[in-house]
Structure 1
Amino acid sequence: MQELLRKHIEKIVPLTEEEFAFVAAHFTIKNYKKRDFLIQEGESVKYTYFVVSGLLMLIYNDDAGKQHIVSFAMEDWWESDFLAFHTQTKATMSLQCLEDTDVFCLSLPDYQHLCAGLQKMEHFFLKKANGGHIGSQQRILSFLTSNAKERYEQLLKRYPSLSQRVPKTLLASYLGISRETLSRIWRSA
């Protein structure tokens, strides 16, 4: 599994054997079952997660009790309640497995030690964070400027395998539409 982590990092920065040994020493591997929670709202957030295999869903529950899906994270993605992780405050979101999932876990002290000890990793995390910001902005713009059908088509174009792995009810929630609307769009496609 460590080779998958190395390949992921080396898409952005090359690492010597010594550098990768330093990097790998900061991660732990954990396995979760479908429906397990990696993070629960109101608890401390110990890690940011790199998904090796499986599928995660980041959830926010509003004051009215409505569940909002913030994101999905599949293989080769990073996920956490980043605000709570970086500020060491209580989680405002929950992170749940939609499939059996294997992840590399990185604690905040290990993250900070990696960035301080190897500038390449600071560059790596900056590139990953920038990619995440761009993705978030694109999703916000999609909500502001696109109708339900267009949002669904954009989702299929960006993440074609997601529609096969995620129940339609959850896809509808992610898209901000009802299950019935998604069914109508799906049938007309």
Structure 2
Amino acid sequence: MSKLLRDHIEAISPLTDEEFAYILSHFKIKKLKKHAYLVQADDHVKYEYFVVKGCLKAFVVDADSGKEFIYQFGVEDWWMTDRDAFFKGVPATVNISCLEDCELLGITLEDRSKLGKELWKFEHFLQVKANLGYTSLQKRLQIMIKGNAKDRYEQFVRQYPHLIKRIPKTFIASYLGVSRETLSRLYNS
């Protein structure tokens, strides 16, 4: 379980065995079954989670229609949380549920900040990951604003080819902002 996290951090900041052991000591293991919720709207969000195994979806629900709008998936080697709730201490506005059985490593904001202050390598890792996350979000917003359904689908396939067979098409359609029927046409074209 810890090897994936170590490889993830060391892709940016190499660590000694002692440094990694200290970092790992601040994480808590969490295991959830398929369909379980990691976060539900209005929850207090104490942890940011590193996905060791499994697949999750983050979504909001329209209060009037009850329709789900998926804005993020999370698989191995990715991070998941309601970032606004985690960083600001406000109630969650999103839901995160498991599409598969999941194993996660969770860290509190306090421990995350403590490690960042104590280990410059960890702080550097967090900074690089945040910048990569911002650029990924920028690309997603641009394709959602400027791209048509085909553009969004092709971008998803290029960026996440490993998710096409793993995630149900209904959820991919929601993520892309298209109907299931439109996605089927794009998938078969």
Question: Does the TM-score normalized on the shorter chain lie above 0.5?
Answer: yes
Residue 106 of structure 2 is matched in structure 1 by 105
How far apart are the structure 1 equivalents of 2:43 and 2:93? Answer: 8
Residue 23 of structure 2 is matched in structure 1 by 23
- 2:63 is matched by which residue type in structure 1? D
Residue 45 of structure 1 is matched in structure 2 by 45
| 1:166 to 2:167 alignment | yes
How far apart are the structure 1 equivalents of 2:19 and 2:188? Answer: 51
Residue 76 of structure 1 is matched in structure 2 by 77
How far apart are the structure 1 equivalents of 2:99 and 2:132? Answer: 23
| 1:3 to 2:3 alignment | yes
Moved over 3 A (4+): none
Q: Which is worse superposed, 112-121 or 35-44?
A: 112-121
Equivalent residues, number:
188
What is the Cα deviation at residue 129 of structure 1? 1.0
Normalised TM-score (structure 2): 0.96
How far apart are the structure 1 equivalents of 2:13 and 2:160? Answer: 25
Residue 140 of structure 1 is matched in structure 2 by 141
What is the Cα deviation at residue 88 of structure 1? 0.9
Q: Which is worse superposed, 43-52 or 56-65?
A: 56-65
What is the Cα deviation at residue 66 of structure 1? 2.5
- 1:124 is matched by which residue type in structure 2? F
What is the Cα deviation at residue 63 of structure 1? 3.1
Deviations 1:103-144 (A, max 9, x none): 110111111111111111111111111111111110110011
Which ranges of structure 1 fall in alignment gaps of 5 or more residues? none
CA RMSD of aligned residues (A): 0.9
> 1:115-130 to 2 correspondence within 5 Å?
115-130=116-131
Which ranges of structure 2 fall in alignment gaps of 5 or more residues? none
| 1:56 to 2:51 alignment | no
- 1:57 is matched by which residue type in structure 2? K
Normalised TM-score (structure 1): 0.96
How far apart are the structure 1 equivalents of 2:44 and 2:88? Answer: 10
Residue 36 of structure 2 is matched in structure 1 by 36
What is the Cα deviation at residue 22 of structure 1? 1.2
- 1:173 is matched by which residue type in structure 2? S
1:41 match: secondary structure: coil
- 1:184 is matched by which residue type in structure 2? R
How far apart are the structure 2 equivalents of 1:97 and 1:162? Answer: 14
Same amino acid, percent of matched pairs: 48
- 2:90 is matched by which residue type in structure 1? T
> 1:150-189 to 2 correspondence within 5 Å?
150-188=151-189
1:86 match: secondary structure: helix
